[in-house]
Chains A and B, each alone.
Chain A
Amino acid sequence: MVSVVYKAPDSIQAAISILSEAEIATKILAGGTDLLIQMQGLVNESRLFVDIKKIPEMMQATLGDQGLDLGPSMCCAEFTAREDIRAVYPGLVEAAFLIGSTQVQGRASVGGNLCNSSPAADTIPALMVNAAICVIAGVKGERSVSVEEFVTGVGTNCMEKGELLKLIQLPRPAKNTSDAYLRFIPRTEMDIAVAGAAVSVTLDDEGVCTAARVSIGAVAPTALLVQEAADALIGTKLDDKALQAAGDAASAAASPITDRRGTVEYRRHVVGVLTKRAAQIAATRARGN
C-alpha cells in the first residue's frame, strides 16, 4: 500500500513550485491510467501526487495556421472527438483512439502517453511523424525538444525533477500531406501494441512523394524514426515497390525483443507489414487532400 499526498494546483507556475520543492517522491498525475496501475503493489511508501488537470491550458487544444497547440492532459475522448484536428492529423487521432477502450479514453491523455514513455505507446510514433515539439517548463524556464529527443529509453525521458510537459506543438502540415498509424494486437481492443507504425507523406501535384517520415513502435527501446524507410518513399509515386521497400527498411531498422507479446522474428516481420499498410493509407489520404 502506498500513502498519497494529493495536490491540484491551478497554474503551471504553482505546479512547478510544488514539484521543485517536494521532499518526497513526486508523481505528476494526468489521467492516471498508467500511474495508478504502477502504484499498485508498492509497500509502505509515500508519494506526492500533483494533479495537473485543474490547470486550464493543460486541458485545451487550439488548431491554427501555425499548427496544433495541444494541452498534454486533454483526455483522448475529447481529443479524438475534435473533427477539425482529425481533418489535419488523422494518424495522430487514430493513434489516440486506439488507447484502451472508451472508458480508458475518458481519462487517458496524449501527454501521459508520451511522458510514460513506453516503447509500445501508441501516440509516440504518430507524434514523431508529425514532427511534434515538446515544450517543457521548469524552475529555470522553458525549453523545447523534439519527441525523438524527449524519449530516452524504456520508460525514461529527458525531463528532470521540477519539470513538466506544458505543451505539445505540431507544425501545420504542408499541402497534400497526410498521416496514418497502425498497430498490431492479437485481439480487437484492450491490448498493448506488438508492433506499431506511423507514416506521414507529402505529395506534389504529380503525385510524387516529396517528403516522408516513418516511425515504428514496440520494436526497440524507444519508438524509432526510420530515415531509410522515408527515403524509400521519397521520389516515388508510392507504388507497391516503394511501399514494400519502406516496409523492408522498417523491418531492418527494428531491434525487437521476444516476450509474452511476440517474438523477435514476428515483430520484425509485422512492423514491415504495418509500415507498408500505413504508408498506403497515408498516401490515399494525401491524394484526397
Chain B
Amino acid sequence: MSEAREFKYIGQRTIRPDGYDKVTGRANYGADLSLPGMIWGKILRSPHAHANIKNIDLSKAQAHPDVLAIATYQDFPHVQSEAFQAGEVPTDIIDLARNVLADDKVLYHGHAIAAIAARSESAAQDALSLIEVEYEVLPPVMDVADAMKPEAAVLHNNMFTQGLAEPADKASNIASRMELKKGDVAAGFALADLVVERDFYTPTVHQGYIEPHATTVRFEENGQAMVWCSTQGHFDVRASTAKLLNMPLGKLKVVASEIGGGFGGKTTVYLEPVALILSRKSGKPVKMVMTRDEVFRASGPGSATRSHVKIGAMKDGTITAMQASLCFEAGAFKGSPMGPGCMTVFTPYDVENMYIEGYDVVVNKPKVAAYRAPGAPQAEFAAEMVINEIASKLGIDPIELRLRNAAKEGTQTVYGPKLKRVGLVECLEAAKNSPQYQSALKANQGRGLAAGFWFNIGGLSSVTINMNPDGSGTILEGSPDIGGSRASMQMMAAEELGIPIDQLKPLVADTEHVAYNATTGGSRTTFATGMAVIEAAQDVVRQLKERAAAVWNITAEQVDWADGVAINTTGDDRLTVAEICKDAEKTGGQIAGTGNINARGAGPSFAVHLCDVEVDPDTGKVDVIRYTAIQDAGKAIHPSYVEGQYQGGAAQGIGWALNEEYIYNKDGIMENAGFLDYRIPLASDLPMIETVIIEIPNSFHPFGVRGVGETGIVPPLAAVATAVSEAIGVVMTDLPCSPPRVLAAIHGKS
C-alpha cells in the first residue's frame, strides 16, 4: 500500500455502467430469457410442515396431454452423503438434493416434492393437482427451544449431534455443538462489580430481495447444457448442479442474469437442477419462475435464534468476562450460520475472558441460507443489548464504555487470529462527534447505539482485460454485481491503466468465458475481484511497456509508466495506450492481461450505528426519526455505493428489529408469505439514513479496500431495540419490536 498515492478515479462518484440498462428496463433478469420451443416448469409443494411421504402417484399427471416431463427425487443419479461447499454455507450434497426435491419425507410447508413441465405455465400449474401424494402427517417442530427438548419429534433419524465430548448415542435435532473460549470466565465474573444476563429471541426473517428465483435451461442432445439464472455465484450454481446431476463441469454452462437483489439468499440452488431434469426428459428448453409465495416458503431465510448472554464489568467500565449460549435454527437441514455467530458475538471487545457455545438445530422451516453477515446480526444483537444495559446501570456513556473495551490492532480474537489495524475506535469517535449524538431528545423518544463486526472474506477471483485496437478495453470478471461492483472494477482498472473510465467496459462473463470466481458473498467482490482486476491491469501495463520498448528498441526496464503513457527514459519519446494498442499487431499481437488470485488478507469492517425513535405510548408504534450509520470502508472506491451499502444494511436491520418475522400457525404453516403481511420497511417508513465513511486502509489491498456489504446489517437490531427500550423504560429482548409487543411491554411495566 503506497501511503502517498494520489488517486485520479478512485473516490469519484461516477455513473454506474449498468445504470442505463436498468433505468430503461433493458436489463435482462432471471425471468427475462425465453427460448424457441420453451416449455414451463412448476413445482408441487408440501401442504404439511412435517410428514412422511408414503406414496406418490404420477399416473394421472402423466396422462395430461400438455405434460411433457415430471421430475422427482428418483431422477437424481444416486447421491451419497458428502460434505460439500458451494456458495456461502457448508452443506451435505444429499441434504441439498433432498431440499431441491423431497425424498421420503417433507420437512416444511412448501417443500418441493415433484415438478411438472408442460406446454404452458397454466397447464403445468393445473397438472400439479393431478399428482396424488399420500402423507403420514407428523407433529411439526417449529422453535429451536422445542426442537432441542429430548421429547421433541426428530426430523432426521440418522442425525447425531457432532461436537459433543461424548459421541451422541441417540438421534436428535441438534446437528452440532461448538465451543470457543479464552481465559477463565469464572475468574472474570468474580472480578466484576456488575453482572448482567438475559435471554434473547430473534425471529425467522427473509432477505426480501425483490426479484424471485428464476431460471431458463436447455439440455442438448450431445449432453451439453445451459443454465440462465439469477444468482450471486454462477460458478457455484455450476458446481452444485453438476454434482447433483453427475455431470462434468465442462458440459454445463451457467450464465448469470442481471440480479434483482440477493443478500446471501441467491447463493444456492433450488430450481436449476430440477429444470435441467425436466429439460433432459422433455428435450425442450424449460423455464421456471418462483412466485413470491414460493420465495417466502421455500427459499432460504435467515435463522431464528434463542440466545443467552452474560457479561460482567467493573465499576469503571472494564469488562471482565463475556459468556454466550447461541441456539440457531438451521431449518429443515443442518447448516445454520451458528459458527460465524459464535465467532462474531464478542469480537468488538478486547476482553480477556470469554466463553461461547453454539448449537445448530433443525426445525420444520425452510433450510436457511446466508443473509448478509450470516449469524452476526442475531448474535451481536444479544451482546450489544447487554453492553448497553451495563452502560446504563453503571451510569457510563455507551460510547465511553465501548472505547474502554474496544477491539484494536493486536486484540486476540476468541476464534484464532489477532486483529490487524481496524477502525472500531475511529467509528466510536465519529459517533461521539456526530450531530445526532449531540442532539437532544423529546418525550417518548429514545436513542440506541450499537457496534458491529464482520470478518469479510477473500478467495478465488479471475479476471481478463482485453485491449481493443483503439486503446479501449473490456474487463471480463465473474462476480455477479449485486451492489454496483462493476463501477468499482471499472474505476480500479482505469486507475491502474491511467485511462478514462469510459474507455473500459466491465462485464460479468459466464462460466465459459472467464475462469472460476467464488460467489459474490462475504463482502469479497470489491476486495478480491478488485485485486484480480488490478493484477490484470498491471499485466496489461507490463505488456504495454514491452511493446513501447520494442518500438523504441530499448528494454522494458527502460520504460516508465505514468498516467496512461509510456515514457522512454533514454530519450523523451512518449506513447499513449491508444498508440501502443493501434500498432499492437506490429509489435507482437493483441494485448490481453489476466489476474488469477486466491485473495488473502480480507480486512474486517467495524461499524457503529445510532438510532433515535419515537414511540406512540398508546399504540406501541415505533417511528425511526433519525439514524446515522458509521463504518470503516478501508478505502471507498465509489463512495455513493459504499453509502448505499450502509443505508441498505441499516434499512434491512431496522425492518428486522421492528416488524419482520415469519408468522406460523399451529400446524407450522406460514401465514404471511407476501409483502403485505411480511412487513419490510417502506421508503416512507424511514428517515434519510445519514452515513459516515471511515477509511482505515487494509494493508493487504493495493488501494486499502475492506468489504462493506455486510457489517451494516449487524448493529441495527440492538441500536433500534435499545432506542425503543430507552423510550419506554423496558428492555426489549425479543424481536421484532412490533406494536403489539411494544404495547404489551409498556402495559407490563405499570
B671 touches A259 (CB 8 A): yes
Give the residues in chain A near B122, CB-CB below 8 Å: 1
Instruction: Give which listed residue, B121, B663, B684, B744, contacts A189 with CB less than 8 A.
Output: B684
Assuming the A-B contacts A261-B677, A273-B619, are A186 and B663 also in contact, with contact meaning beta carbons closer than 8 angstroms in the complex? no
Instruction: Give which listed residue, B125, B676, B681, B743, contacts A192 with CB less than 8 A.
Output: B676
A187 touches B618 (CB 8 A): no
**What are 17 A-B interface contacts by the 8 Å CB criterion?**
A1-B121, A1-B125, A43-B129, A184-B621, A184-B739, A186-B621, A187-B659, A187-B685, A188-B682, A189-B684, A190-B682, A260-B663, A260-B671, A263-B740, A265-B740, A266-B744, A270-B743
Assuming the A-B contacts A186-B738, A186-B739, are A1 and B682 also in contact, with contact meaning beta carbons closer than 8 angstroms in the complex? no
Instruction: Give which listed residue, B125, B682, B743, B744, contacts A187 with CB less than 8 A.
Output: B682
B672 close to A (CB within 8 Å): yes
Give the residues in chain A near B281, CB-CB below 8 Å: none
Give the residues in chain A near B682, CB-CB below 8 Å: 187-190
Give the residues in chain B near A38, CB-CB below 8 Å: none
How far, in angstroms, from A176 to B276 measured CA to CA in the complex? Answer: 71
Q: Name the residue on B nearest A189 (C-beta).
A: B684
How far, in angstroms, from A261 to B129 measured CA to CA in the complex? Answer: 31
Q: How far is the CB of B296 from chain A (nearest CB, A)?
A: 13
A273 touches B740 (CB 8 A): no
**Dominant secondary structure of chain A at its interface with chain B:** loop
A262 close to B (CB within 8 Å): yes
In A190-215, the 8 Å CB interface with B consists of: 190-192, 194
Additional 12 contacts, C-beta under 8 A, given A187-B679, A189-B682, A266-B740: A1-B122, A184-B621, A187-B681, A187-B684, A190-B682, A259-B671, A260-B671, A262-B740, A265-B740, A266-B620, A270-B739, A273-B619
Q: Name the residue on B nearest A272 (C-beta).
A: B618
B743 touches A1 (CB 8 A): no
B126 close to A (CB within 8 Å): yes
- Which size bracket describes the interface of A in this complex? 20 to 34
Q: How far is the CB of B290 from chain A (nearest CB, A)?
A: 15
Give the residues in chain A near B126, CB-CB below 8 Å: 1, 43-44
How far, in angstroms, from A55 to B743 measured CA to CA in the complex? Answer: 48
How far, in angstroms, from A190 to B679 measured CA to CA in the complex? Answer: 10
Give the residues in chain B near A263, CB-CB below 8 Å: 740
Nearest first, the 8 A-B pairs at minimum CB distance are: A1-B122, A266-B740, A188-B684, A273-B618, A260-B671, A260-B672, A260-B663, A260-B677
- Inter-chain residue pair count (beta carbon < 8 A): 55
Contact string, A251-268, partner B, CB cutoff 8 A, digits 1/0?
000000001111101100
How far, in angstroms, from A261 to B672 measured CA to CA in the complex? Answer: 9
A191 touches B740 (CB 8 A): no
Q: How far is the CB of B320 from chain A (nearest CB, A)?
A: 40
Instruction: Give which listed residue, B129, B659, B684, contacts A186 with CB less than 8 A.
Output: B659
Give the residues in chain A near B618, CB-CB below 8 Å: 270, 273
Give the residues in chain A near B121, CB-CB below 8 Å: 1
B679 touches A186 (CB 8 A): yes
Give the residues in chain B near A266, CB-CB below 8 Å: 620, 739-740, 743-744
A269 close to B (CB within 8 Å): yes
How far, in angstroms, from A184 to B621 measured CA to CA in the complex? Answer: 9
Q: Name the residue on B nearest A270 (C-beta).
A: B619
Q: How far is the CB of A25 from chain B (nearest CB, A)?
A: 18
Q: How far is the CB of A267 from chain B (nearest CB, A)?
A: 9
Give the residues in chain A near B684, CB-CB below 8 Å: 187-189
Contact string, A78-102, partner B, CB cutoff 8 A, digits 1/0?
0000000000000000000000000
Give the residues in chain B near A194, CB-CB below 8 Å: 739
Q: How far is the CB of B96 from chain A (nearest CB, A)?
A: 30
Give the residues in chain A near B743, CB-CB below 8 Å: 266, 269-270
Give the residues in chain B near A1, CB-CB below 8 Å: 121-122, 125-126
Q: How far is the CB of B500 from chain A (nearest CB, A)?
A: 41
Assuming the A-B contacts A1-B122, A43-B129, A269-B743, are A184 and B619 also in contact, with contact meaning beta carbons closer than 8 angstroms in the complex? yes
Q: How far is the CB of A53 from chain B (nearest CB, A)?
A: 25
Instruction: Give which listed residue, B620, B663, B685, contacts A188 with CB less than 8 A.
Output: B685
In B660-690, the 8 Å CB interface with A consists of: 663, 671-672, 676-677, 679, 681-682, 684-685
Give the residues in chain B near A192, CB-CB below 8 Å: 676
Give the residues in chain A near B125, CB-CB below 8 Å: 1, 43
In A32-64, the 8 Å CB interface with B consists of: 43-44
Instruction: Give which listed residue, A184, A191, A269, contacts B679 with CB less than 8 A.
Output: A191
In B104-162, the 8 Å CB interface with A consists of: 121-122, 125-126, 129
Q: Name the residue on A nearest B675 (C-beta).
A: A190
How far, in angstroms, from A1 to B740 measured CA to CA in the complex? Answer: 38
How far, in angstroms, from A43 to B127 measured CA to CA in the complex? Answer: 10
In A221-271, the 8 Å CB interface with B consists of: 259-263, 265-266, 269-270
Give the residues in chain A near B620, CB-CB below 8 Å: 266
Q: Name the residue on A nearest B623 (C-beta).
A: A188
In A166-195, the 8 Å CB interface with B consists of: 184, 186-192, 194
Q: How far is the CB of A5 from chain B (nearest CB, A)?
A: 17
Give the residues in chain A near B671, CB-CB below 8 Å: 259-260
How far, in angstroms, from A259 to B740 measured CA to CA in the complex? Answer: 12
Give the residues in chain B near A188, CB-CB below 8 Å: 682, 684-685
Q: Name the residue on B nearest A247 (C-beta).
A: B618
How far, in angstroms, from A170 to B304 measured CA to CA in the complex? Answer: 51
Q: Name the residue on B nearest A188 (C-beta).
A: B684
Which has the most chain B C-beta neighbours within 10 Å: A1, A260, A261, A269?
Answer: A260
Which has the most chain A C-beta neighbours within 10 Å: B618, B658, B743, B744?
Answer: B618
Q: Name the residue on A nearest B677 (C-beta).
A: A260
Q: How far is the CB of B684 from chain A (nearest CB, A)?
A: 4
Which has the most chain A C-beta neighbours within 10 Å: B658, B663, B676?
Answer: B676
Q: How far is the CB of A260 from chain B (nearest CB, A)?
A: 5
Q: How far is the CB of B402 from chain A (nearest CB, A)?
A: 31
How far, in angstroms, from A218 to B276 measured CA to CA in the complex? Answer: 47
Which has the most chain A C-beta neighbours within 10 Å: B129, B619, B659?
Answer: B619
How far, in angstroms, from A188 to B681 measured CA to CA in the complex? Answer: 9
Give the residues in chain B near A191, CB-CB below 8 Å: 676, 679
Q: How far is the CB of B196 from chain A (nearest CB, A)?
A: 30
How far, in angstroms, from A263 to B741 measured CA to CA in the complex? Answer: 10
Q: How far is the CB of B524 from chain A (nearest CB, A)?
A: 34
Q: How far is the CB of B57 from chain A (nearest CB, A)?
A: 19
How far, in angstroms, from A261 to B684 measured CA to CA in the complex? Answer: 20
Give the residues in chain B near A270, CB-CB below 8 Å: 618-619, 739, 743
How far, in angstroms, from A266 to B121 measured CA to CA in the complex? Answer: 42
How far, in angstroms, from A187 to B621 measured CA to CA in the complex? Answer: 8
In B696-750, the 8 Å CB interface with A consists of: 738-740, 743-744
How far, in angstroms, from A261 to B681 measured CA to CA in the complex? Answer: 16
Q: Name the residue on A nearest B665 (C-beta).
A: A260
Give the residues in chain B near A262, CB-CB below 8 Å: 740
Give the residues in chain B near A187, CB-CB below 8 Å: 659, 679, 681-682, 684-685
